[in-house]
Homo-oligomer: A and B are copies of this chain.
Amino acid sequence: MLSEKCSWEVAHRMSFESLKSVKRIVVIGGVAAGMSAASKARILRSDIEILVFEKSGYISYGACGLPYLISDLIKSPEDLVAYDSKFFKEKRDIDVFLYHEVIAIYPAKQSVLVKNLKTGAQNEYQYDKIVITTGARAFVPPIKGIEIKGIFTVKTLQDGIETKDFIRKNDPRRALIIGAGHIGMEMAEALAMVGMDVTIVEREPNILGTMDEEITKIVEEGLIRNRVKLFKSTSVREFISKNGYVREAILDNSESISADIVIVSIGMKPNSEIAGEAGIEIDHTGAIKVNQLMETNVPGIYSAGDCATAYHQVLERQAYLPLGTTANKQGKVAGENMVGGNASFKGIVGTAVLKVFDLEVARTGISEKDAQIEGFNFISNVVEQSSRAHYYPGGSNIRIKLIAQRNTGRILGAEMVGMEGVSKRIDVFATAIAAKMTVEDIGELDLSYAPPFAPVWDPILIAANDLKKKIRDQD
């Protein structure tokens, strides 16, 4: 972990002069990864031209805030925008072209074909280096009636604006959410907050499919407690409209669910088509294959964010787990390397957290399901411990599932659910996984303690020590 000189110091000494031939970089897509790449490149090189093409009317926004825009906790779409194109032009000398879609990349010519979506005009732009940060789109299943008014996805700021607008104009009372993943959970809370009766339909037998049942069943109980109706192991066969608006969904078993608004949140699909057409390698999920330098297989072409793979430190290979934090980090690496740097994306460990009504739910590393699929020799346990000292009022139980390598005790993953103290406790495990710690190492950590914040044996320590004991007892 610790070397005499950090690698970034070495990187710094590499002169950015070495890439003086780079005069113009092009960024395809101006949300998290794209604007991070553009900004990082500008910090390192004041002498180059930086063009960003964004097909929508918004850049640099926090897509993770969309459920809260829709629930009206956040009033205006502009609140989600970190910086606008005027800021990027004036403060960073970055040229952002809104409503401009890159429709083709020509690696041999080092150019892109760009369509102005307002005028229809097409123009070709030369580049020296390019980064594809086209993100992902919500997957829309081919259900009969899917095109009916009142059915939305929640991925882009435009999606959020349209959904919020629909709610304001039509005052829907009954909401149906298709898919019980992270977005589905957050949208269930958001729509319940604005007073709707919420129903969720999930095709799989469990909600939050990336996590294990010992944790997700607590979340299910939370949904029920908050009067959300949940249908599992079933799908919507057809949507029925009335006066042109969605009114009903028919399930596989012909059961009918009334709905004035439908949110489709069954997954994301990388926007990798123009990359594939340009001969860039795509993986089985549809994501653009990159290495830890954020390079694709085509020289001079980088990719980052929701359209690209990310190195997974536990799986020790590239994987597709699109998240905003990763997009920002990868964008910075791509931006640096495009202008001659030598940055490396250290990788993800699979950390995620979400709020579902009164619950905090989090994961990092791999689940038991993942461990099985990946062929790890693993062992796991589940503990439940108070978030505060037993005598301090207001605490609540945190349930932790830990997964470790059976032979070494190295931690592979952690999942957590509780009413408080989950969101940042998961980061202790994320840090431990990055450091390749064992359950023994974790059980001996000097974690903070004061009665309002933790018991003297933090739930983290209890979970690690219990699993350590379980490993020892099986010998």
A positions within 8 Å CB-CB of B: 1-9, 12, 32, 62, 64-65, 68, 73-74, 79-80, 82, 313, 323-326, 328-329, 345-355, 360, 362, 364, 389-393, 407-410, 421, 423-428, 430-432, 434-442, 444-454, 456-458, 460, 468, 471-472, 475
Contacts and interface: CB of A to CB of B under 8 A. Distances in A.
Contacts of A8: 440, 468, 472
A226 B133 CA distance: 49
Contacts of A450: 64, 352-355, 423
Given A74-B391, A82-B390, A446 B475 contact: no
A204 B5 CA distance: 38
Contacts of A364: 446, 448
A438 B65 contact: no
A423 B422 CA distance: 12
Nearest to A421: B424
B351 A472 contact: no
9 contacts: A6-B438, A348-B446, A351-B448, A353-B454, A355-B452, A421-B424, A424-B425, A427-B448, A431-B431
B456 A2 contact: no
A326 B350 CA distance: 31
Copies of the polypeptide in the assembly: 2
A449 B325 contact: yes
A446 B2 contact: no
Contact of A446 (B6, B434, B456): B434
A391 B434 contact: no
B409 A449 contact: no
A444 B347 CA distance: 8
Contacts of A389: 62, 64-65
Contacts of A423: 421, 448, 450, 452-454
Contacts of A436: 1-2
| Chain B CB within 10 Å, residue with most, of A9, A450, A472 | A450
A1 B83 CA distance: 42
Given A5-B408, A452-B355, A453-B355, A434 B427 contact: no
A446 B354 contact: no
Given A424-B425, A424-B448, A456-B32, A435 B438 contact: no
Contact of A408 (B4, B347, B425): B4
A171 B124 CA distance: 82
Contacts of A325: 446-447, 449, 456-457
A447 B351 CA distance: 6
B82 A440 contact: no
